[in-house]
């Protein structure tokens, strides 16, 4: 991987928990009645009768690499784990396989845990020498007989905050904005996730290429791609009753409150913004 594995893991963790809980961070709040509103793969019967709901996602990209280049893949998502505002992280991985082999024989896996079921498929197609179209498909196969179920009920049988990504051992991925634009992904937003373009990530929200989490970030706030300074100030403004409610609720939310409460004034001020000053005349002279 081109950049620090820790940097990519930080990005994944931030996106995975994005939107999981929103201010005021209590399970009784209307905003928190359905955790993680992004990257959802619904059960098929629910998706069939609800506009905008999808029962699958497909990450597609163009690998600029030779036939022996190894391609690995992984899918991370959250699974609802109880009546309260709680979820568990899940992972399904495909071991690295040469592109030429994937073109001949796609790889398939099944996920089944806690009543949730999914089918995953990794494939490749040679388009031209050192040009392979690669697909990672995730389909929700959970039995779900209630066609008129509420969204909350459907989320209990859904993959939440689904993050598929592809990793090339050799070569690079073409930008989804340029060469790879014709290979349209479905229900996910493809982005080059590392500086060497060896990881293609299907994000839950639209991101710029080579996204990074600011080093000033205070860790998981469930909204790490937004304005963390405001979020910290909101947390510090919670009432005693709200904090007591949080102590009884989701452990992940409770841990976030503890991290936020421990922030010093200097750390909060550091989130206010960053400015880099430079001399445009010096920059022009150095070219």
Residue 140, CB half-sphere, CA atoms under 13 Å: how many? 31
C-alpha to C-alpha distance for 122 and 130, rounded to whole angstroms: 18
C-alpha to C-alpha distance for 127 and 170, rounded to whole angstroms: 18
C-alpha to C-alpha distance for 16 and 251, rounded to whole angstroms: 16
Give pLDDT, residue 219. 63
C-alpha to C-alpha distance for 130 and 63, rounded to whole angstroms: 8
Give pLDDT, residue 2. 44
Q: Would you write out the chain's pLDDT as a tens digit for each of its 287 residues? A: 545 568 899 899 888 888 777 666 676 776 666 666 689 999 999 999 888 899 999 999 999 999 999 999 999 999 988 656 678 999 999 999 999 999 999 999 999 999 999 999 999 999 999 999 999 999 999 999 866 788 888 888 999 999 999 999 999 999 998 887 789 999 999 999 999 999 999 999 889 999 887 776 656 667 665 566 667 777 777 888 887 777 777 777 788 778 777 777 777 777 666 666 667 666 555 55
Dihedral sign computed on CA atoms, order 186, 190, 199, 13: negative
Give pLDDT, residue 135. 97
Please give the C-alpha separations between residue 61 and each of 15, 40, 95, in angstroms, as whole numbers.
Answer: 20, 20, 18
Q: Count of CB atoms within 10 A of residue 66's CB?
A: 14
C-alpha to C-alpha distance for 175 and 234, rounded to whole angstroms: 38
User: Are residues 57 and 41 in contact, defined by beta-carbon separation less than 8 angstroms?
Assistant: yes
Q: Identify the residue whose tokens are 């600029």.
A: 64
DSSP helix/strand/coil, 182: helix
User: Which residue intervals of the chain are DSSP H helices?
Assistant: 5-16, 44-48, 99-104, 151-155, 228-236, 240-248, 251-261, 265-270, 280-285
Single pTM value for the model: 0.84
CA-based diameter of the chain, in Å? 69
User: Are residues 173 and 62 in contact, defined by beta-carbon separation less than 8 angstroms?
Assistant: yes
Q: What residue ranges do the domains of the chain occupy? A: 5-12+33-203
Give pLDDT, residue 251. 78
Give pLDDT, residue 212. 83
Give pLDDT, residue 285. 53
| Close Cβ partners of 276 (under 8 Å, ≥ 6 residues apart) | none
pLDDT digits over 156-194, tens only? 899 999 999 999 999 999 999 888 778 999 999 999 999
C-alpha to C-alpha distance for 193 and 64, rounded to whole angstroms: 16
């Amino acid at each position: 991987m081109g950049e620090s594995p820790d940097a990519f893991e930080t990005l994944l963790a931030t996106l995975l928990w994005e939107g999981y809980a929103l201010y005021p961070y209590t399970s009784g709040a209307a905003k928190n009645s359905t955790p993680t509103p992004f990257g959802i793969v619904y059960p098929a019967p629910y998706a069939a009768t609800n506009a905008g709901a999808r029962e699958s996602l497909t990450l597609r990209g163009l690998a600029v690499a030779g036939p022996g280049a190894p391609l690995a893949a992984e899918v991370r998502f959250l699974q609802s784990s109880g009546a309260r505002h709680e979820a568990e992280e899940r992972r399904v991985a495909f071991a690295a396989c040469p592109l030429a082999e994937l073109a001949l024989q796609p790889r398939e896996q099944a996920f089944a845990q806690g009543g949730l079921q999914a089918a995953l498929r990794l494939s490749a197609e040679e388009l031209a020498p050192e040009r392979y179209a690669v697909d990672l498909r995730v389909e929700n196969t959970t039995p779900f007989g209630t066609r008129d179920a509420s969204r909350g009920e459907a989320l209990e049988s859904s993959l939440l905050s689904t993050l598929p990504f592809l990793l090339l051992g050799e070569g690079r991925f073409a930008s989804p904005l340029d060469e790879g634009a014709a290979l349209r992904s479905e229900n996910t937003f493809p982005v080059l996730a590392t500086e060497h373009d060896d990881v293609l990530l299907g994000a839950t929200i639209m991101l710029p290429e080579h996204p990074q989490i600011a080093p000033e970030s205070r860790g998981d706030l469930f909204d790490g791609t937004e304005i963390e300074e405001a979020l910290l100030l909101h947390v510090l403004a919670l009432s005693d009753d709200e904090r007591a409610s949080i102590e009884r609720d989701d452990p992940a939310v409770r841990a976030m409150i503890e991290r936020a409460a421990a922030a010093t004034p200097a750390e909060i001020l550091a989130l206010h913004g960053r400015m880099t000053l430079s001399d445009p005349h010096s920059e022009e002279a150095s070219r």
